Structure 1
């Protein structure tokens, strides 16, 4: 008890200093977490994918080079800072090798469909989400659909974020008899 009477001011300073240290560390940690850049990405089959593939079977060779949109890639920015996106797409398995199938966006200058990395990219605001469309070439839509194994997004710093592909619907290339029967209907 005698020690407490002699050192109460030192004990008070130690307690207050410890509390201040904990509060400052908590404030630093909150600011650090707000500045961390992160993106979440996922992909799935589009709602009208089968209809677009069926239409690609019926059209002639002069109707355009693209079929779709077949797949949808959703990018979510859960961080507290806006992030500039350079590229979005899918990972596909082509004979055992993983390749990229890029999303198309409307360009600001021509309103044509272009790969995002050919345009200047897009800004994704903090806490927001955006869905991008993946179109297939007519050859892919008529011959063999790609085997999708994942999705990706690349920010302006070159950091790549990978995501999953949710196989929510089965799509298939219709046979020529199915296309002929649907023409009769």
Structure 2
């Protein structure tokens, strides 16, 4: 007990310093995790998927300019759960056969008339705490496919997948 009364100031300093170090570490950890991209990816069949496919197939015998060449079959939703903007490089679905089907979107300057891959369309980054839905199209020349899971690739190259 005599030692404690002689060294109370040193003990107080050690406890205060340790507590300050712990608080500083937690603040650093919070700041580091704050500036990362966090995405959530989900997908669903387009509400009119069957009807869209039937309409595309019904134009089979018509003139080429009267035929439907693309039809919407799946919707992929990408949510930015982070606190910084998330530039996207690619979005799509992986089919049950393992093939990747990329989402197509209109570029900023095409007024919705020309569809292109996300990497070519110069899309605005996905702002924090927001979501964007992308469309997956079926081309006339390809067979109908079943999506197994959805994916998104951010500009850093990290692949984010939906849960199956």
Query: TM-score, normalising length from structure 2?
Result: 0.88
Distance 2:68 2:137 in 1: 12
Distance 2:106 2:116 in 1: 6
Match of 1:80 among 46, 68, 83: 83
Q: Is the 8 A contact 1:86 1:122 kept in 2?
A: no
Q: Structure 1 unaligned runs (5+)?
A: 166-185
- State the shift of 1:57 in Å: 2.0
Moved over 3 A (4+): none
For 1:104-183, list aligned pairs within 5 A.
Answer: 104-111=104-111, 112-140=114-142, 144-164=143-163
Query: Which residue of structure 2 aligns with residue 180 of structure 1?
Result: none
- State the shift of 1:23 in Å: 0.9
Distance 1:48 1:38 in 2: 30
Query: Which residue of structure 1 aligns with residue 57 of structure 2?
Result: 57
Q: Is 1:91 aligned to 2:87, yes or no?
A: no
- State the shift of 1:49 in Å: 1.2
Query: Which residue of structure 1 aligns with residue 30 of structure 2?
Result: 30
- Size of the aligned set, in residue pairs, is 158
Q: Is the 8 A contact 1:91 1:151 kept in 2?
A: yes
Deviations 1:147-175 (A, max 9, x none): 3221111111222212235xxxxxxxxxx
Q: Is the 8 A contact 1:153 1:161 kept in 2?
A: yes
Q: Structure 2 unaligned runs (5+)?
A: none
Q: Is the 8 A contact 1:43 1:164 kept in 2?
A: no
- State the shift of 1:34 in Å: 0.5
Query: Which residue of structure 2 aligns with residue 2 of structure 1?
Result: 2
Give RMSD over aligned pairs.
Answer: 1.6
Deviations 1:104-131 (A, max 9, x none): 1111222311121222233001111111
Q: Secondary structure at the match of 2:141?
A: helix
